[in-house]
């Protein structure tokens, strides 16, 4: 980086970096400038259990090992839940008939009317539409992270343990986790009045 600049410019930069607050300027100069990521502050919230945030983080980054990413293995590429289309993150979370039921149940429960098509777009929309009571706001974030994580776990349980994927049970588990976290932060009456249904 510095070798590409004229000698006078390098001398000037090094001189300015040896002044007070120069290390901060040097850091900013060398720090890689990439795209600004909107999602970390919404995925990594203190009240969301880390195991759910972790899976959501992997999904947002495109790091879940869905079958479309396992090209080096000689395996069936169809979705293990519905066996109708090739498995990808997009299919698993938004197009699979079994997981659509779970999304619809959570959206109905939390009053989300917008169609959600990707995990990053769901996070962006929830961040933009983050209004209502504190209980309802937190419920949406907890439920989103739990949904992403539990669908992934349910998919893996089906593949590796041959445990049937039960969308109704999954919906119940997401609600139970959400209520459990909320009850640890708010009074019972407040939670119940905010989340009727």
Phi and psi of 60, rounded to 5°? Answer: -65, -40
In this prediction, residues 167-189 reach a mean pLDDT of: 96
**Predicted confidence band of residue 82 (pLDDT cuts 50, 70, 90):** very high
**Cα 181 from Cα 87, distance rounded (Å):** 31
* CB 103, CB 116: distance < 8 Å: yes
Place of tokens 């293995």: 73
Q: Where are the domains of the chain?
A: 1-34, 40-194
Residue 78 bridge partners (DSSP): 86
Task: Tell me the pLDDT band of 186, cut-offs 50, 70 and 90.
Answer: very high
Q: Among the ranges 16-30, 40-54, 80-94, which has the highest mean pLDDT value?
A: 80-94
Residues 78-91 have a mean pLDDT of 95
């Amino acid at each position: 980086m510095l070798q590409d600049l004229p000698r006078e410019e390098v001398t000037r930069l090094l001189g300015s970096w040896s002044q007070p607050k120069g290390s901060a300027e040097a850091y900013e100069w060398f720090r890689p400038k990439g795209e600004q990521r909107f999602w970390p502050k919404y995925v990594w919230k203190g009240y969301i259990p880390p195991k759910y945030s972790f899976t959501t983080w992997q999904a947002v980054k495109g790091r879940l090992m869905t079958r479309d990413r396992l090209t080096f293995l000689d395996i069936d590429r169809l979705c293990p839940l519905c066996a109708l289309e090739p498995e990808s993150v997009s299919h698993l979370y938004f197009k699979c008939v079994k997981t659509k039921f779970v999304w619809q149940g959570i959206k109905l429960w939390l009053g989300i009317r917008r169609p959600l098509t990707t995990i990053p777009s769901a996070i962006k929309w929830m961040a933009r539409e983050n209004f209502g009571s504190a209980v309802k706001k937190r419920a949406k974030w907890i439920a989103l992270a739990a949904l992403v994580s539990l669908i992934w776990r349910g998919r893996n349980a089906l593949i590796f343990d041959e445990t049937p994927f039960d969308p109704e049970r999954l919906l119940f588990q997401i609600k139970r986790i959400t209520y459990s976290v909320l009850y640890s932060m708010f009074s019972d009456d407040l939670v119940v009045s905010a989340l009727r249904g």
